Each structure stands twice: as structure tokens, then as C-alpha cells.
Amino acid sequence: MLQFSSGSARIINTERAVAECLEIALGNDYKSADLLIFHASIGHNFETMVQKAHEMAPNARILAASCCGVIGREGVSESMKDMALMALKGNEFEIASAVEIDGKTAFEQSRKMAQELHGINPAINIFFLMASGIDIDNQKCIEGIESVFGKEITIFGATSSDNMKGIVSFQAVDTTVTEHGAWLLGFTDPTLKATTRATHGFTIFGNPLKVTKAEGNVIKELNGKPAWQEYLNLLGLPENSTCGETIPVGALGEILTPEDAGVYGNSAILRVVTKHNGNDMYYATTISEGTELWLTLRDEALIFSEMDRIANELKAELSGARPVAVFHADCLARGKSLFNKVIKEELVAKMQHPFYVNEECPPWLGMYGFGEFAKLNGRNMFHNYTTALYILYR
């Protein structure tokens, strides 16, 4: 039976941050860890981080991803020195990985990872997926895994990020660090169950943009004009703007079916642009010509009310069962670019308090990334600009 513990640190020295995370999570027993999952801000050296973790816990597998801040039991922090850890004891898990994945290879690389895990244990039904946050077709990742395990499985996770520049993000498996990789963690503990929810709290406005030319997850034209140029014009941004400058204000909404919208609490699912090549915009999922996209506005009252709603729904689903660990992915635009520190900490408190056990927060590992994997109306789905909570319970 897997045992979970967590810790986070805000120390600029990478080796010291690793040591503090391990000591907070496991005390002096850190050598007994079987799996270490790190989220760390882009200011840390990832080669140093995984090597130090390997030295301190030589028998543990290591997984890691870069982010734009962390959320742990100790609270929320967004700086260049943040690091957070979820430590596991027990061997009831399996890992597969890809060293190179992008929009064109997302389905096949995800399928290969799933096939590897299926060959070890075909009964796995809970997966933690972490992939590069730049140039990847995220819904194809889900489809690749489901092509092997079926659609009834639960996939949760995120895409790695940098400090909102959209330049580079990191993933690591054991002591191998990649910039365009992915890893897939399958939980084989039969006592574990999982439930997930995601919410964003933005509203659409104005008239839709029409995708008039696209290839895979690349938008080439919007409204018959070069895509990136048209996107910047509609946002009122200068032509030399970066992806990082569009992220806080440039969420694009795709209209959901009425049934999905009712469950989601919103009429649209959002998408982020984390890369462009000239006027080609790299979308987060496959996009078809003729699709209508809407500009959006954040609604802070809706963000808070929807956070309450999904927390209450998750708590009701537990039906008194004990949460043993919470994994959490938040869009980086919902962090310091969206809220000041006081309001942001209030939002995190709203998502953590409902899951306290004996007045204590359960082991918690959260990150600010480029996107989130969580279920929507019973289906595995990729989201942007959301808070996504993943509750593991018994």
C-alpha cells in the first residue's frame, strides 16, 4: 500500500532545497523513499536537483517537471527558488517516458508509453501524465494512452512551464533531464481511487474568430489573416509581443456542448498559446478549420465561486473516504499574473481546507504550469487556465 508525504522549500541553492524538501517530507527516513516527484521553478538547475535527490535517496525513482511556482502543504510561492516534493513509499507504481514529444508525435509517443505500462500491468487505471508545455498536442496524448487502456481510466497531470516566457521547460526521469519529453506514472495500488475536477472562471465576449487555415495543432490563419498578427491585433498588443505577454490576457475559448457546459460551470473550455513561429500559432490541441474561437475576460467572483463548487463536489464524491494525497495543477496565469498575494493565498486556502484530515492538510503537490489534464463530464480532457485538483483516496 503506497504511503504519501510532501514538502516544499524556497531556497535558491538547489542542493539545499532538495535536502529540505526530503527532510520535511520524510524526516531522517528519506533513504527509504521509493519514488520522488519534484516540481521546481525554472531558477533551479535540474541536473543538480535530480543528482542530489539520487544521492540522498539512492533506491528511489525520480520524476520532475519545471514550473512557474509551487503549491504545497506549506502554502503557495511563485519565485525562481521554489521547489516542492511528493514522496512515495511502496513499489506499487510503474513509469514510462519519452525523451522527445511534440505536436506531430504526441499520439504515437503517448501510445508507446502506455504500451510499455500495459505490458507490465494491464490493470492500471490511474495515470499521472507530465509533458512538455511547449509545442505539444495535449488531447492527442490522452488519445494515445486511451488507445491502449480504454477511456474508463483516469488521467491527471499537467504540462511543464517556465517563468511565463514560453521559451523552455524541463522534465526529468531519474537522472535524465529533457526539454521536450514526457513521463507517465501508473499507480498499481489496488486500494487507491481517484477523482478529478477543473475550473477556470473566465467568460467569453465579443465576436468569434474563425480558424481559416490550420494544420494539426498549428493555426496558420485567423479570419483569413496571418494568425499571430491577427491575434495580437485583436488583443491590442504590439507586433513584437511575446507569447508570455499574451498569456494573461489572451485565453481563447472553444464553446462546449450544453451538457458539458452544465457540468463544467462554463460555456467554453480555454486554450493557451505558448509558441509561435512567425505568424504560425501553436495551439494546445488539434484545431480544425472553421472552428470559432472567442476572446475571454477573467471574472474573479466566478473564479472563487467555481472553486467552492468543485471543492464541494469532490468532497461529496469522497463520501467520507480519506484523501491520502492531492496532486494539483494550476495555470500560471492564475498565479501572480492574475491575483495579488493575499487573494491568491485565499484561493489556495479555499481549495485545501475541504480536504483537511484531523485539521491537517493532506500531502499536497501543486504547480503553476502551462496546462492541466482532468476529467470533464466523465471524459479525460486537456484544459488551460484552470485550477485542477486530483484527489487520491481510500
Q: Is 177 found in the same domain as 218?
A: no
Q: Is 383 found in the same domain as 323?
A: yes
Boundary-marking domain end, from 244, 268, 298 = 298
Q: Is 355 found in the same domain as 232?
A: no
Boundary-marking domain end, from 251, 270, 298 = 298
Q: Is 372 found in the same domain as 334?
A: yes
Task: Kindly calculate the radius of gyration of the chain based on its CA atoms and give it in whole angstroms.
Answer: 20
Return the closest-CA partner of residue 184 out of 293, 71, 299, 63: 63
Q: Is 221 found in the same domain as 91?
A: no
Boundary-marking domain end, from 274, 298, 322 = 298
Instruction: Give the angle subtended at the CA of 258 by the CAs of 257 and 260, to the nearest 5°.
Output: 65
Specify burial of residue 285 (Cβ count, 10 A radius: 0-12, 13-18, 19+). buried
Q: For residues 372 and 158, is the Cβ–Cβ distance under 8 A?
A: yes
Q: For residues 268 and 294, is the Cβ–Cβ distance under 8 A?
A: yes
Q: Is 210 found in the same domain as 175?
A: no
**What is the rounded average pLDDT of the residues 367-378?**
96
Q: Is 235 found in the same domain as 189?
A: no
Q: Which residue has the higher pLDDT, 131 or 348?
A: 131
- Count: domains in the chain: 2
Q: Is 21 found in the same domain as 8?
A: yes
Q: Is 146 found in the same domain as 225?
A: no
Q: Is 28 found in the same domain as 150?
A: yes
Question: Residue for cell digits 490493470?
Answer: 123
Percent pLDDT > 70 in the chain is: 98
DSSP structure class, residue 360 = B
Q: Is 139 found in the same domain as 41?
A: yes
Q: Is 176 found in the same domain as 67?
A: yes
Specify burial of residue 257 (Cβ count, 10 A radius: 0-12, 13-18, 19+). exposed
Q: What residues make up the domain containing 229?
A: 202-298
Residue-wise pLDDT for 291-301, tens only, equals: 999 999 988 88
Q: What pLDDT score was predicted for residue 300?
A: 84
Residue-wise pLDDT for 334-366, tens only, equals: 766 566 555 778 888 889 999 998 889 999 999
C-alpha to C-alpha distance for 367 and 65, rounded to whole angstroms: 9
Residue 171: pLDDT above 60? yes
Q: For residues 117 and 124, is the Cβ–Cβ distance under 8 A?
A: yes
Strand bridging mode 126-131 / 182-187: antiparallel
**What is the rounded average pLDDT of the residues 110-139?**
96
Q: What pLDDT score was predicted for residue 340?
A: 59
Residue 22: pLDDT above 90? yes
